[in-house]
Structure 1
């Protein structure tokens, strides 16, 4: 996948090659949290352009247009608050930035389609706020990525029940998960909460995990539970690769190298 995005005078382009480069989930931390402005700041001490626009949108609009609903998609309304798009928490698009990033994406696509040159490795950033700055960074795969990471390999007997499997997670040195919930291919095998889901999935606890996973010899499950570190409990989501042994068709060679 060739991906590109812009934000004002800033932008990025990247190439994602499955199994080779970091996937989208590996670099999700690059996205900054969405900015929200406290209403007290807007009402009492607006001090930036964004504050002033939000002040006009949230406070002044009702004073001038009492009873009239503000529509951010109405050009006349947007003109009234100075059309910068901040009222939608969106930084306005800059045509030159869009052109540069789209050109970078088109170039990478041409490289992939024609093999005329080595592709980008693997993340290009552009900043045109003050002059021009562009840089290529080679990000690495996240070994704990829930999408492309290898996950934790667990060899299981086909007769192990879901209840026993959840108990094993508490003592596994790489997991140490308590109160675990288990999902397989989007299906809830067992959920600790809310109570209505716990009751709906409780009957699965005494069934063999192998049967609940549709008797697939090797597959991935995701578990969510609580881990304790330095007397602090945190929620953790982990990816597990389950390999069932003692079933016709599964040999030691199947589990070599992390399955």
Structure 2
């Protein structure tokens, strides 16, 4: 991608999932000639895992950049999908694997997408229990707690967290984008964290020791 490509935009939206990639984009954007206090390029980034996530605005001369707040991000860890597929650690992970992945792959009671798991159907619960027990034994996970009640509890309360989180984050993106483009209202200042519908506003400040923006 040529360096001048990003300079053709007034607004950049990012949903990059890894911190090094985000910081690389942050550095690329801040190196643009027009990206200064007089420039009109804003970088909005958001990410979520299930119903937890954040959105941040980076505007030169007014807010911190992503290089300034690197310490706010936790160390990298296994993603939710990798946790279910490759490294389950608890009986609940095994049950979720059955509900999220194995049910649609095995289609035990009909064609794909035709039968959803019914936690009140003893046959469905028993099938999920057996598959979860097999999964647990494969990864040497204790199965003392793995019974029909746990299957009903995990699957019955398993919300479409990723879809809901994406929708929630998309709403925040749309709101801030609309305000920036139309100037109908002030944008947030400058970071929102959300967790299960609760939003926490954070006002970060530029870091004079930041290698990217140097606090300007």
TM-score by length of 2: 0.44
Q: Computing the radius of gyration over CA atoms, which structure comes out larger, 1 or 2?
A: 1
Structure with the higher strand share, 1 or 2: 1
